[in-house]
Structures are given as structure tokens and as C-alpha cells.
Chain A
Amino acid sequence: MSTKFRDLLALEPLTADELGFLLDQSKPFQEIQKHPLKKLATLRGKTVALAFFETSTRTRISFGAAASRLGADTMNLQAEASSLKKGETLLDTVFNLNAMKPDCLVMRHAASGATDYVARHLDIPVVNAGDGTHEHPSQGLLDALTIRDRLGTIKNLNVTILGDILHSRVARSNIHLLGKFGCKFTLCGPAMWVPRELEKIAPGTPIRCVYRIEEALHGADVIMMLRVQTERLNDPPLSADDYILLYQLDAERLRRASPNAIVLHPGPINRGIEITPDVADGPQSCVLEQVTNGVAVRMAILYLLISGATETDTHPALQVKSKESANASD
């Protein structure tokens, strides 16, 4: 009954069943985060290549921790130090990495679609750790896991996303995942970041764009904050003070949401810009749970992709109808 995943490039093409399966498979790894001894030997001898062509701290460390807790080794490529600076093409860089025989490639790139493009040229599993403004699947999964743990379900929730949605791959992955479970979305932020076209990005999912934060928060079960990329505030001009005045999530505005509403933020947080410290550190905030769950989700992804890519069709035990009823493997 297990679902076969070769790569994890986007959440959009996955069904609700497949997404639910990925979330369920993360649960055993959440338990392992609580063990005194967190290291498994499951992927011993395997190597995960981490190629971050766009800078990242949290996601790269999280994938690295996930790999090492599964017993795998990592190879690291960071944009600043790479030969891309010397003019090598993306594919050449990736082929060189692949020639060092990793068992899986985790990749981030500033261009949307770059991960799909690379995956088409490689025979090892590829995980998208964020491509341009397209998707960030592991973030979508860890957010859903966090919501499910806190609220008990991810079905039929009112989800409000605040901030620069136009440029956000996190928002897209969340909409594609939660939308398949009947969630309704309210997108809110300055008009330049929340164009009406966003209402059509996930056919079948109710999405509305509103421009007043008070209206957007009304009745929300989940509030997803996005980081305000301060460098983008200048073009077109919107001062940080105006942003705070119009769109900052503070305790008073939060009261308009459902009493049990939770607040998510993918980080890094700009305290005092998009969110006030009392909300970021308050009881409704899940930001650190998100980080903890991120390691579990990424362990599940690496486990599934790497175990799925290892000699699957030749072993005689496969002909036994199923592991449980046959105890052929006992």
C-alpha cells in the first residue's frame, strides 16, 4: 500500500492521499526527535548531496540534521564558494556532484523550475528545497504537520496568509497542500504583493485576496506569516513604518482570529516588522515547533526517497505477497 515517490519536486501534483501518507510517515521521526539518542543507522553508507545555489541557513541545516540522524553522510555545496562563480553551468555543476556518487540530491535554486530541470537529467532522487517563487515542498509539509499537531486536523480550515505572497514559494506549497484538504484561503498584504491573479493558482481551492488585515484575520484558524523581504519594500516604495501600520500582526489584531488560532512563520522573523515579539513568542505561535517538525519531515522524505531508490525489483523476498503476513523477513 505504500506510495512510490521518485523525487519530491512540488506538492501541487500530489493527491490528498499521497500528502497524507507523507505526513503520517513523518510521525515516527517526530518521536525520534524526543529520544535521548537521536541517531539511526537506517541510511548508513548513503550520501546526501546538499546543493544550495541560493543561500539558506535553516533549511540547509535541517536537511543536514535529517540526513545525519538517519546515519547518512552529506556533501555540501554552497553558492558563495562554488564554481558557479567561475562560470560553470548549473548542469555541469550538478553532474560533477553526481559523479561523486551521492544517493540523493537536495537542491535550492533562485530560478523557478531549476530543480525539475536538474531532476530530468539525474537518475538519483532529487528533493526541491525551494526553487524561485515556485514551491518549497518540505516547508509545506512541515507546516501541515504543525497545524495537524496543534489543531488535530488539516481539513476545512480557514487559512490566512499575510505578506509578500507574490514572491513566496512557501505560500504556494501551503496552498497546494492544504487546498486538497478543503482549506479556504485568505491572502492579505500590499496590493503589489497580493495581485488578484493569485486567486486562480489552485483551481478548485477557494482563495480570496483582501487588503485590510482586520478583514483577513476575521475567523482565521491558521495565520501564516511570510517574511517581509525588506529589500523589496523599496520597489515600489512602501516604507517599513507604513507596512507596520497596515499589516503588522500584533496582539490586538490577532484577537479577530478564531480563539484557538495558531500563528506560523517560516523564518527568519523580522521582529517588529511583520510580527510583534509578544505574538511571535506567545502561546499561539508555533514557530519553534515548525523548526523541530522540519527535521522530522525531512527525515521522512530522505528515508522514503533513498529507500525507494535502492534495489527494488530483484530481491526474491519481494515475490512474497506482503511483509506482515509472510514473516519472510523475520
Chain B
Amino acid sequence: MSAPEIDRTLQRLAHEIVEKSGGTKNLALIGIVRRGVPLAQRIAQAMRGIDGVDVPVGVLDITLYRDDLSKVAPQAVLRSSDIPFGVDNMDLVVVDDVLYTGRTIRAAMNGLFDLGRPKRVSLCVLVDRGHREMPIEARYIGRKVQTSDTEIIEVRLQEIDKEERVVLVDRVE
């Protein structure tokens, strides 16, 4: 995906979320650290263009809620979560870059439910690459991509990576 494609996709996702949520009332976006955060902020910006309303954006680091303590990244660096609004009775849309096994989203839900009781939680991802290990599906999907286990979806975003693209690469073993 090129930069303009990513932009168009996010515009469409913003429209879809507003449409299916029946407006932006009680709506909030939760970006998953790291690349879900700029994506959520961009979707919120697009929503401002649609509805003229500022949808609150929270930041969630799921490291502490993982089910695989230290296996992936021993002494993983924790980043701060920042959800400056109450989640009770909110309509939350969790935003992440890639949906793969579903474990990140399971962890995110554990984290969110420690903060209160949202009315609804749905999921928005830029890329759905399949290979789920959990009964989790995204309600809003930028693009579905068929992948094999040995491939990696690399999402590069301006805010973090100083470049903008999504590519499929082979894992270096």
C-alpha cells in the first residue's frame, strides 16, 4: 500500500465507523501502542471532517496484559497508556495496524475492562492478514491480505518510521 492508498483507506474507515455507530456520540478510539496510535489519531482527524466533532483518542500499551510474558521480548519496554476519559458506557473502537493471531486484541480487551465497563468494543485494523488463534474479528478492515506464516506485514508510518507504506516481506530466519 502506498501513502495515498493508506490515506484513502483511513478516510473510508472513518466514514464506516461513523455510519455504523450512528454518529459520533459516546464514540472513542483506542490506539494500540505503537502503530495503532497514529492510525487512531488520523481516523479521529478524518471524523472531524465528517461530523465536525472531536472524537477522543486513548492510547493503550498492552504489554502488561500479554499472555506470553517475556517470551517475545524479555524485559519488554513498557510505554505509557493514556486514556483520559471514562470508558463506562462508551462505544470504543480499538485501532491497530495489523490483525494476525488476535492475541494483542485479547490483551487490549483485558486492559480496557480494567478501566471500566464500555457499552461496546469493536475493532478497526489497517490490515487483516489472517491466521487467527482467537475468536476475534475486526468490524472495520482496511485491507484483507492472504499471507503465509513466514511472511511479515510491515506497516511503516510517517509519525514513527519517517516513511509511509505497507509491504509484505519474508521473515529473516
Contact = CB atoms under 8 A, between A and B. Distances in A.
A312 B65 contact: no
Contacts of A320: 152, 171-172
A28 B80 contact: yes
Interface residues of B, number: 42
Contacts of A315: 71-72
A323 B34 CA distance: 10
A245 to B, nearest CB: 47
A307 B70 contact: yes
B19 interface: no
Contacts of A57: none
B103 A326 contact: no
A5 B152 contact: no
B5 interface: no
A233 interface: no
A153 B114 CA distance: 30
A323 B35 contact: no
A327 B153 contact: yes
A325 B154 contact: yes
Interface in A306-330: 307-308, 310-312, 315, 317-330
B140 interface: no
Nearest to B154: A325
Nearest to A310: B70
A321 B172 contact: yes
Contact of B35 (A1, A307, A324): A324
Interface string B66-88: 10111111111111111000000
A43 B67 CA distance: 10
A35 interface: yes
A308 B98 contact: no
B152 A328 contact: yes
Contacts of B173: 319
A329 B75 contact: no
A139 B172 CA distance: 44
B19 to A, nearest CB: 27
B64 A330 contact: no
Given A35-B115, A36-B116, A324-B34, A329 B68 contact: yes
Contact of B171 (A4, A28, A42, A326): A326
Contacts of A14: none
Interface string A8-50: 0000000000000000010110011001111111110000000
A4 B77 contact: no
A317 B99 contact: no
B21 interface: no
A327 B97 CA distance: 9
A43 B68 CA distance: 10
Given A2-B76, A327-B97, A317 B81 contact: no
The listed residue with most B CB atoms (<10 A of its CB), out of A308, A322, A330, is A330
A40 B155 CA distance: 30
Contacts of B96: 330
A317 B70 CA distance: 11
B35 to A, nearest CB: 7
A307 B74 contact: yes
Nearest to A322: B73
A188 interface: no
A67 interface: no
B70 A323 contact: no
A2 B100 contact: no
B161 to A, nearest CB: 8
B64 A317 contact: no
B71 A4 contact: no
Contacts of A317: 71-72
Given A311-B70, A328-B152, A31 B81 contact: yes
A317 to B, nearest CB: 5
B70 A312 contact: yes
A307 B115 contact: no
B71 A36 contact: no
Interface in B108-140: 110, 113-116
A304 B104 CA distance: 20
The listed residue with most A CB atoms (<10 A of its CB), out of B61, B70, B100, B113, is B70
B45 interface: no
A42 B65 contact: yes
A318 B101 CA distance: 17
Contacts of B152: 320, 326-328
Given A25-B78, A28-B80, A319-B173, 8 more contacts: A36-B116, A42-B65, A307-B74, A318-B72, A319-B172, A322-B73, A327-B154, A330-B100
6 cross-chain pairs, A with B, having the tightest CB-CB distances, nearest first:
A330-B100, A307-B70, A310-B70, A308-B75, A37-B114, A312-B74
